Each structure stands twice: as C-alpha cells, then as structure tokens.
C-alpha cells in the first residue's frame, strides 16, 4: 500500500490506535507543529522509546505519515506485510551488506513518491533506540533522502524532541516538540562548493544541534548519571510518604482495576519480566497488550455484567473496565519511590 493512498481499514483503525497512544500517558503534550507551506517534510525525532516514539509522532497529525524502520524487522513475511500496511518501510544500513543495501532502492522510491504527494516521512536518524537523555551520532541516510528530495522539490527537515518522564514505567508523561524546519534547498544553495560527504556532515551537525535543543539533552560521558541526578533529583522523603498514604487509600480501587484488567496486565508484565532482553521495549509491550486485548475483554465484561447483574448497574462494569488498565499502572507509579 502506498503511503499516501486512502485505505478503509487503516482509516477505521487509526482513531483507536491514536486513542490507545494518548491514554498510555498520564499527560501528553504537543508543542509546535509541522509546516503546511507545501514543502516536502522529513521528520527527524530522537529515538528512546522503541515503537512508542513512532506512535506519539503519528498521533500529532490526523493524516498519514510514512515511517522508516530497521530492515531486519521485515525478515518475517507476515510481519513485513503488517509493517507495510502500517505505512512502515525498511531502511537498510550499509553494515547490513551490499546485497541488502540494494533493497533500499524500493524503499527510496516509496519515500520519494510519498513526499511528492505531500505526506511526511519520519526517520529516526540515530539508527537505533537508546533510553537515555542523550543523542547518538546521526546517520547519513537522512541526509541522502533530504538531498534527493530537494533535487526534485522544496524540502525541509523538521527536528523533533520526544521527552518521556520515565523510559520504563507505563503511564508516565510525554512531551513532543517540533522545532524550526531546516530548509534543505536553502542549505544546499548556501554551500555550492562542497562535496556530498562534507554536505552530509554539515547538515547532520546542524540537525543534531537543533534536536538537542528540543528535549532534555545531557552529554553521554562519565558524568551523565551525576548530571541526571542534578536535573532530576530523587523525591523528598515527605513526598514519598504522602504518595504511599495516597496509594493505601486508593488500594480498593487498585484491586478492582487489577481484577477488571486481568489478564492484560499479567500477560504484559510476564513478557516484560521473562522474555524481554531489551527493557526499552517494556512500554511497547504494555501498549500492545492494551491495543489488542481491550476490545476482546470489553466484550467479555459487558456480557458477564448483563448476565449476572441487574440492568440498572450492569453498564458500570464496562465503563470501569475502560479505566482499569490505566489506573492499575497509575497506582503502581504512585506506590513506587
């Protein structure tokens, strides 16, 4: 499916996906927006939250967005079909081998077609995720795509900063900031004598600097942990005690939420605890359990309530269920130090 074409099933599922993204955070804030002046738009966010990064970017606009992802995620044909339905294309890296790099031609063609139809393309230029308040060196792929697009049409790169209050606990907060667009055509016109390698280096240097201004960025050096404790000190003991007391008062609601959201949270936490080698995927797992399990469990609880409770109160069960998964994790976050 081309990234700009309408698809009925995608259109039906999209609002539900966006809603699940929104309620995955206690607070979700968007600052700034993408330009709407007719230029081709390449979105360039930092990458700390695995799939959640793409989901929060997707939620910031109603229209479609094409995403690039690591090519090894497309090795399974079934997974590859799902990824393409979700408007995700494989991005092959040079270290994947020459034969694999040749596959990039199809992806680059898709990206070019999407940009030509006014649909943004989102690429995480670090090349991999890392749950840190820092930034890995940006890869050359985004520069190549930007230069190729600029040779055909006015093009800009929009730096984006994604800031999570917590990388590993579900229902934290998320702030996504869109920075000032970097005019690729103007950049090329301002450096007419530079070769491609030097142009790429300068563009990535400029883009990296702009991205660092949009989220809590700390140098990745031996003092990183100490600096992080300075900007985000531990909670005072009095605050921890008050949170624990609040959690005890809300314990009955927590137990009700645990029952109503069963077995979604045991499945999610079991996968996170026993099967995840990379804990950065924890919130992605919890999100997917919610996304896939909530519709089924809503039907189950609605049927049970109608069968065993008076009609006048049966409706309260599905309503409470809709809030149960969020409250379950909110209570855990309240109890944690």
The vertex-212 CA angle with 195 and 92, nearest 5°, equals 55
Report how far Cα 179 is from the mean position of its chain's Cα atoms.
17
What SS3 state is found at 188? helix
Q: Are 161 and 211 in contact (CB under 8 A)?
A: yes
Would you call 321 exposed, middle or buried from its count of C-beta atoms within 10 A (0-12, 13-18, 19+)? Answer: buried
CA distances, 173 to each of 30, 154, 165 (Å): 11, 35, 5
Q: What is residue 160's predicted lDDT score, i.e. its pLDDT?
A: 98
Q: Which of 66, 51, 14, 57 is nearest to 32 (CA)?
A: 57
Q: What is residue 188's predicted lDDT score, i.e. its pLDDT?
A: 97
The pTM (predicted TM-score) of the whole model is 0.93
Neighbouring-strand partners of residue 175 = 29, 163
Q: What is residue 337's predicted lDDT score, i.e. its pLDDT?
A: 64
Q: Is the dihedral of CA 132, 134, 137, 142 positive or negative?
A: positive
pLDDT tens for the 337 residues of the chain, in order: 555 677 888 899 999 999 999 999 999 999 999 999 999 999 999 999 999 999 999 999 998 999 998 887 777 787 778 788 888 888 876 555 555 555 667 788 889 999 999 999 999 999 999 999 999 999 999 999 999 999 999 999 999 999 999 999 999 999 999 999 999 999 999 999 999 999 999 999 999 999 999 999 999 999 999 999 999 988 888 888 999 999 999 999 999 999 999 999 999 999 999 999 999 999 999 999 999 999 999 999 999 999 999 988 999 999 999 999 999 999 999 998 6
CA distances, 147 to each of 42, 187, 318 (Å): 11, 10, 52
Would you call 249 exposed, middle or buried from its count of C-beta atoms within 10 A (0-12, 13-18, 19+)? Answer: exposed
Domain boundaries, the chain: 8-212, 237-335
What CA–CA distance (Å, rounded) separates 318 from 303?
Answer: 9
CATH of region 8-212, choose from 3.40.50.970, 3.40.1130.10, 3.90.110.10, 3.40.50.300? 3.40.1130.10
Q: Are 63 and 34 in contact (CB under 8 A)?
A: no
Q: What is residue 93's predicted lDDT score, i.e. its pLDDT?
A: 65
CA distances, 90 to each of 79, 108, 160 (Å): 12, 9, 21
Q: What is residue 182's predicted lDDT score, i.e. its pLDDT?
A: 98
Q: Are 153 and 188 in contact (CB under 8 A)?
A: no
Spatial neighbors of 153 by CB under 8 A, at least 6 apart, are 39, 40, 115, 116
Q: What is residue 78's predicted lDDT score, i.e. its pLDDT?
A: 79
What CA–CA distance (Å, rounded) separates 264 from 231?
Answer: 35
Q: What is residue 91's predicted lDDT score, i.e. its pLDDT?
A: 85
Q: What is residue 96's predicted lDDT score, i.e. its pLDDT?
A: 54
């Amino acid at each position: 499916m081309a990234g700009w074409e309408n698809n009925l099933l995608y259109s039906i599922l999209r609002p539900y996906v966006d809603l699940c993204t929104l309620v995955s955070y206690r607070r979700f804030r968007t600052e700034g927006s993408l330009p709407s002046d007719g230029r081709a738009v390449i979105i360039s966010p930092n990458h700390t939250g695995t799939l959640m990064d793409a989901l929060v970017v997707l939620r910031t606009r109603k229209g479609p967005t094409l995403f690039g992802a690591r090519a090894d995620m497309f090795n399974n044909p079934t997974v590859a079909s799902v990824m393409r339905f979700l408007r995700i294309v494989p991005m092959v890296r040079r270290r994947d081998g020459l034969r694999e790099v040749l596959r990039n031609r199809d992806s680059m063609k898709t990206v070019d077609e999407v940009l030509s139809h006014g649909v943004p393309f989102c690429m995480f230029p670090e090349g991999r995720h890392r749950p840190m308040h820092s930034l890995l060196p940006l890869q050359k792929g985004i520069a190549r795509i930007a230069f190729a697009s600029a040779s055909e049409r006015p093009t800009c790169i929009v730096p984006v900063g994604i800031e999570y209050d917590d990388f590993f606990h579900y229902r934290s907060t998320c702030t996504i900031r869109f920075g000032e667009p970097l005019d690729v055509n103007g950049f090329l016109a301002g450096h007419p004598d530079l070769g491609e390698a030097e142009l790429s280096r300068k563009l990535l240097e400029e883009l990296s600097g702009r991205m660092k201004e949009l989220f809590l960025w700390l140098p990745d050096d031996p003092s990183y942990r100490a600096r992080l404790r300075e900007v985000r000190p531990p909670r005072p003991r009095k605050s921890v005690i008050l949170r624990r007391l609040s959690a005890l008062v809300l314990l009955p609601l927590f137990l009700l939420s645990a029952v109503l959201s069963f077995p979604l949270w045991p499945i999610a936490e079991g996968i996170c605890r026993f099967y995840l080698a990379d804990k950065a995927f924890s919130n992605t797992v919890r999100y997917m359990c919610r996304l896939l399990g909530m519709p089924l469990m809503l039907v189950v609880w609605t049927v049970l309530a109608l069968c065993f409770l008076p009609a006048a109160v049966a409706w309260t069960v599905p309503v409470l269920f809709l809030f149960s998964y969020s409250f379950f994790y909110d209570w855990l976050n309240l109890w944690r130090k």
